[in-house]
Homo-oligomer: A and B are copies of this chain.
């Protein structure tokens, strides 16, 4: 079962949901085609299960590193670093994630399960709350928090998509520093240069 999820993750990320066949997945997992159906009701269910598991793992990953006591700015830094770490270990998933993470979007791949929606929402909420608190405390300047979250999501997703392809470990520190810096300049209260 794990075998199928692993194979599916790799192939969905590489070729997309529709272009990946159940036979592809079975072959990569080194099983017969029919075997998948002992564990998953359908291709869509397999996709759903994959998304749920990954999103749950991502949410756990974020929560583990999250420090509710920290200042909003530090929380945001932590979230960026955690996102980066997670996707360095889950490079394949990033592509799927980026597609499914536009909250209002009907994915073009397959319908998200309610559980997956819920998880996606919670991931976004962590960032949004940090931002809202920062705005209340005056540390961040005022803006529509949803707009800010959207900007940050898009920015980080795209950079990760672009740079996580690079050979392991290259510039990673710089990239993270750039993202954090860019975001903070955009967010922190104070005079514009």
Residues of B within 8 A of A63 (CB): none
Tell me which of B105, B146, B193 contacts A191 (CB under 8 A).
B193
In the complex, the answer to whether B161 meets A105 with C-beta atoms within 8 Å is: yes
Interface hit among A24-32, A82-90, A182-190: A182-190
Q: How far, in whole Å, are A157 and B95 apart by their CA atoms in the complex?
A: 16
A147 pairs with B175, CB closer than 8 A: yes
Copy count, this protein chain: 4
Is A154 a contact partner of B158 (Cβ separation < 8 A)? Answer: yes
CA distance A14 to B108 in the complex (A): 8
Question: Which residues on B sit within 8 Å (CB–CB) of A144?
Answer: 174, 178
- Tell me the complex Cα distance, A181–B140, Å: 14
Say yes or no: is A68 at the interface (Cβ < 8 Å to chain B): no
Determine the chain B residues whose CB is within 8 A of the CB of A16 once the complex forms: 18, 108-109
Given contacts A104-B165, A185-B185, 9 further A-B contacts (CB under 8 A): A16-B18, A18-B18, A147-B163, A147-B178, A148-B182, A154-B158, A181-B186, A181-B192, A185-B186
Say whether A151 contacts B174, CB under 8 Å.
Answer: no
State the majority secondary structure of interface residues on A: helix
Report the minimum CB–CB distance from A173 to chain B (whole Å).
Answer: 13
Min CB distance, A92 to chain B, in Å? 13
Does B178 lie within 8 Å of A143, measured CB to CB?
A: yes
A154 in contact with B150 (CB, 8 Å)? no
**A48 CA to B17 CA in the complex, in Å?**
20
